[in-house]
């Protein structure tokens, strides 16, 4: 099975790190719970909005990014023991640049360099399951590909999917949940493919 895994806010704690650096630079303290829409910039004070998006590629942010709990073990296990194909599917080109790629490589014992795909619309990438925190990407996976997706819960993705989720949307609170869901989903997909 080909598993597509988003990087920002799924592997790394990107939003949290960006908000920390924003606080250091400006004194404006925002919390994850304030960010109730995918476009973070609108929650920042007006005078900071122009420069805020630059923080996502700021050296300090990249340096401080930390993997979410249980993420590395779960992915190593998917790739190793469970034998899945892993693709890191990101809309952000910074993970194919040296600093970003190095940061990602530090987490895993397999070579990540041929597994990073940059795509604004992830539904064009050939994957069976998408794991993401962006409701739009997950919706496209479901509607254009008719394939399942796991949405990692955050305050910015609590809205329902427009048009319904066709039973293909799974929500997870953390990587322990993702691990359990993957186990169930791959079992169901295997049975489906045997029945065809």
Judged by CB under 5 A, which stretch of 3-11, 33-41, 143-151, 155-163 contacts Mg ion? 3-11
- Quick one: which of 3, 8, 116, 148 contacts Mg ion (CB under 5 A)? 8
* Count of positions on this chain that bind Mg ion (CB under 5 A): 4
Give the integer Cα–Cα distance in Å for 91 and 78. Answer: 22
Choose between 10 and 185: whose C-beta lies nearer to Mg ion.
10
Q: Is 9 in the site for Mg ion (CB under 5 A)?
A: yes
Choose between 101 and 189: whose C-beta lies nearer to Mg ion.
101
Give the integer Cα–Cα distance in Å for 122 and 144. Answer: 10
Choose between 133 and 147: whose C-beta lies nearer to Mg ion.
133
Q: Distances from the Cα of 131 to the Cαs of 2, 42, 88, 138, 146, in angstroms?
A: 11, 25, 10, 8, 15
If phi over 0 gives left and psi between -120 and 50 gives alpha, with beta otherwise, what is residue 9? left
List CB contacts of 44: < 8 A, sequence separation 6 or more: 22, 28, 30, 52
Smallest separation, CB 67 to Mg ion (Å): 13
- Quick one: which of 3, 4, 5, 6 contacts Mg ion (CB under 5 A)? 6
Q: Is 179 in the site for Mg ion (CB under 5 A)?
A: no
Give the integer Cα–Cα distance in Å for 141 and 123. Answer: 5
Choose between 157 and 165: whose C-beta lies nearer to Mg ion.
157
- By CB under 5 A, name the binding residues for Mg ion: 6, 8-9, 133
């Amino acid at each position: 099975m080909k598993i597509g895994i988003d990087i920002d806010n799924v592997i790394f704690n990107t939003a949290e790190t960006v908000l920390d650096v924003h606080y250091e630079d400006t004194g404006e303290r925002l919390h994850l719970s304030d960010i109730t829409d995918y476009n973070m910039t609108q929650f920042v004070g007006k005078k900071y909005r122009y420069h805020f998006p630059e923080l996502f590629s700021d050296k300090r942010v990249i340096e401080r990014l930390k993997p979410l709990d249980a993420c590395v073990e779960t992915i190593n296990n998917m790739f190793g023991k469970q034998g899945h194909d892993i693709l890191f599917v990101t809309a952000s080109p910074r993970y194919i640049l040296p600093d970003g790629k190095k940061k990602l490589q530090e987490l895993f014992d397999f070579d990540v360099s041929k597994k990073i795909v940059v795509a604004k619309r992830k539904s064009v990438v050939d994957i069976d399951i998408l794991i993401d925190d962006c409701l739009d990407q997950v919706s496209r996976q479901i509607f254009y590909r008719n394939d399942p997706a796991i949405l990692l819960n955050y305050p910015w993705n609590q809205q329902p999917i427009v048009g319904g989720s066709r039973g293909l949307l799974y929500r997870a609170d953390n990587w322990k949940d993702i691990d359990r869901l993957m186990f169930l989903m791959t079992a169901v997909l295997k049975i489906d493919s045997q029945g065809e």
